[in-house]
Structure 1
Amino acid sequence: MNDAFSPPPGLLPAGLMDVLPPAAEREAALVEALMEGFARHGYERVKPPLLEFEDGLLAGSGAAVSEQIFRLMDPVSQRMMGLRADTTPQVSRIAATRLGAQPRPLRLCYEGPVLRVRGSELAPARQLAQAGIELIGGAAPEADAEVALVAAEALARVGVTGITLDITLPRMAQALLEAAGLEDAVARRLIRALDRKDAAAVATLARDAGPVAALLPPLLAAAGPAEGALAVLRGLDLPEAARAIAENAALVIAAIAARAPALRVTLDPIEFRGFRYHVGVAFTIYGPGATGEMARGGRYQSANDEPATGMTLYPDAVLRAAPKPASRPRCFLPIGTAPAVGEGLRRQGFATIAALSAADAPAALRCSHVWDGTAPVPVTEESSV
């Protein structure tokens, strides 16, 4: 092989990256803080494997991410295996099998990486960190409200405030199109127009498609603060299935408002992108400013067809919005420093960096302090050499 075409050392596949100090430590600390927030509400940790048999990964809600799963043959069983692209299907499997006899509702939480075949234009990373909660066996609107509020509280614990909880109704558009009895070609064109938020095209297509289709333009325009969108829904003559979806959303939003009246909540009644397996309300949490999407979740049917709801947080996005914590001070210990000195400094919150040779220098080892024989003192130009 011509050396001119050899990849440089350390080159990683597209969408994969090394996380280096201090970012790796900061992410780990943030994830543990999120998990502690979940545990405070009774969510117990599970740890599914990164790799398992393909049919298990594709059960239930896992079918929605089948195109994102890396597959390989297990040399032991000769069965196809897959690397998880989302953790929710695995937690659903655990609830249905290993924890099938546990009383419901079951509250579980998890954290770990997922790997996807491809990223998106806006998020090209293919390995992502996840931390989330699943509430399995609870069908009441209060269950949906709980997962949204537990996620919001966990974000507040790591210093992320000013969030927006965006609620969507993924089945609303389909329910209206089915009730309208449209020809397939017209229905497909309406779906494309709704997906693009093309208000002019939706209005044109709905104009001659009957009274049910005529509900689509006002619903498209209703997206915004939850109370205003709910008022639009209450004022429309919705078909029975669509009315049930709207009434459930109103109950969920009321339960959220009762517990967190200051939380900013928006509602988009006919948004359906990215929620192929959700059967009730779906959630997205946006951070302040331009930090983007930090969490996503909603109601779905679990692996054994139990009602379930959950929320997945994305630590990399949360890190962009969370305040940067103070760095752990690093104290240089010259050769000959007594072990008890290091133990005492670590109890005070220092990381101790012991000199291994006379050539070691505090500045080169990124130390903020140096032990002068009696106390840790800030590193200066004189003490760094």
Structure 2
Amino acid sequence: MRTPSNLLPEGFHDALPPYAEAASRLERDVLDTLASHGYARVSPPLAEYEDGLTEQMRGASRNDLMRFVDPISQRTLALRPDMTMQIGRIAKTSLAERPRPLRLSYSGQVLKLRSGQLHPERSRLQIGAELIGSDSVIAASEIVSVAVEALERAGVTGITVDFTMPDLIDMLAAGPLPLNEAQIGEVRGELDMKDAGGLSAMGATGYLPLIEATGPFDEAMARLRKFDTGDLLGSRLDGVSRIAESIKGKASLTLDPTERHGFEYQNWFGFTLYAETFVGALGRGGSYEIVHPDGQSEAAVGFSLYPNPLIYAGFGTKISDLIFLPLGYDRAAAAGLREAGWRTVAALSDKDQAEALGCSHILNGDQPEPL
């Protein structure tokens, strides 16, 4: 499965059989699901001008770009670390005049400058969908539902959707629980670690209830509503609750209102997708804004899946049996078997052996015979 490290750079590897085929099948399952809901596929380039690619990027993600100078234009190019921003560019330029809401899907490799312990690969497959022109509860409910359906079609079970509110701390810091910029960063860090003692030590006790408002969705939402005494969050909490209600029974639901990992540009609503037996997230999504050249912003909601863990766990490896075709085989019979979904491997010499070539059957006359 892996290539010796001295042949390829760290974080890169070849996809070998059966994993390369598994990736293709899983990608097709997900894209077919998106197409069935009206999402039209687009395919942006692997590299773009750095300034255009970073236009909607924030924070540390700008430092995760692999850059090089284009010998033709002499401008700096960058390899995409994420495809969502490219879809935003397409929506506000080439497809700016298309009717809204605009539903787009995509799939391709993204490249990271650095790898992490949980995801050591620097190149990975990203598949996703963006609904542009609305971030209403109905639009967000569609995106979450389609994401869950896509994972189910790929064979994933035991799915959990963890909801969050990416701009919650900013709202509270600018209103009932004032914080300056430095304090916002410190509070976010303590909430990331769920460190009640740290919050108390820095005098941010007003944020303590947010630690308790984490866990199974209904219980956590009830605690969050109790915390919202001034009804600042009322409409947002109602919206997230309605989105969760729309997929109840299709997945396990949890809430972590201050989760921010992977939500650098989302605003009022976000979600992370998990599945039993898998460590880490399989995908994320949420609401955000696309800024057009004239300065006007456009609401959007979408999700991205990162299915590499599924591929190497065997999802998508539903490969039909392999039939060995001996010398002088019946070509019409072999063609009929391929049309029926069988795979065939033809002998090139009398030295070829069915078992050595990984076959499960041999063609005997016009019928496959198990080995």
Same fold (TM over 0.5): yes
Partner AA of 2:199 in structure 1? V
2:338 equivalent among 346, 349, 359: 346
Aligned pairs for 1:68-217 within 5 A: 68-179=64-175, 180-182=177-179, 186-206=183-203, 213-217=204-208
Mapped partners of 1:77, 1:327: distance in 2: 46
Q: Is the 8 A contact 2:128 2:303 kept in 1?
A: yes
1:234 lines up with 2:230 in the alignment: no
Partner of residue 359, structure 2:
367
Q: 1:322-341 CA distances to partner (integer Å, 9 max, x unpaired)?
A: 75644321111112223212
Over aligned residues, Cα RMSD in angstroms? 2.3
Distance change >3 Å, CA 317–CA 303, structure 1 → 2: farther
2:310 equivalent among 293, 318, 342: 318
Partner of residue 280, structure 2:
292
Q: Which shows bigger deviation, 103-112 or 267-276?
A: 267-276
Partner AA of 2:241 in structure 1? I
Mapped partners of 2:313, 2:279: distance in 1: 6
SS at match of 1:308: strand
Q: Which shows bigger deviation, 138-147 or 20-29?
A: 138-147
Query: Considering only CA atoms, is the larger Rg found in Structure 1 or Structure 2?
Result: 1
1:247 equivalent among 218, 224, 235: 235
Distance change >3 Å, CA 185–CA 329, structure 1 → 2: closer
Deviation at 1:255, TM superposition (A): 3.3
Mapped partners of 2:104, 2:181: distance in 1: 41
Mapped partners of 2:115, 2:51: distance in 1: 23
TM-score, structure 2 length as denominator? 0.91
1:258 lines up with 2:246 in the alignment: yes
Q: Is the 8 A contact 1:230 1:250 kept in 2?
A: no
Identity among equivalent positions (%) equals 40
Partner AA of 1:84 in structure 2? R
TM-score, structure 1 length as denominator? 0.88
Distance change >3 Å, CA 183–CA 96, structure 1 → 2: closer
Deviation at 1:186, TM superposition (A): 4.6
Partner AA of 2:15 in structure 1? V
Mapped partners of 2:5, 2:189: distance in 1: 45
Q: Is the 8 A contact 1:330 1:368 kept in 2?
A: yes
The alignment covers a number of residue pairs equal to 364
- The structure richer in helix per residue is 1
Deviation at 1:226, TM superposition (A): 1.7
Q: Which shows bigger deviation, 296-305 or 25-34?
A: 296-305
SS at match of 1:78: coil
Mapped partners of 1:65, 1:185: distance in 2: 20
Partner AA of 1:373 in structure 2? G
Mapped partners of 1:247, 1:96: distance in 2: 29
Deviation at 1:51, TM superposition (A): 1.2
Partner AA of 2:331 in structure 1? P
Deviation at 1:185, TM superposition (A): 5.4
Distance change >3 Å, CA 335–CA 262, structure 1 → 2: closer
Partner of residue 357, structure 1:
349
Q: Is the 8 A contact 2:19 2:314 kept in 1?
A: no
Q: Is the 8 A contact 1:333 1:352 kept in 2?
A: yes
1:40 equivalent among 36, 46, 68: 36
Q: Which shows bigger deviation, 82-91 or 255-264?
A: 255-264
Partner of residue 14, structure 1:
10
Mapped partners of 1:297, 1:78: distance in 2: 35
Partner of residue 223, structure 1:
214
Q: 1:233-290 CA distances to partner (integer Å, 9 max, x unpaired)?
A: 22224567xx24x532431331341354443211112222331211111110010134
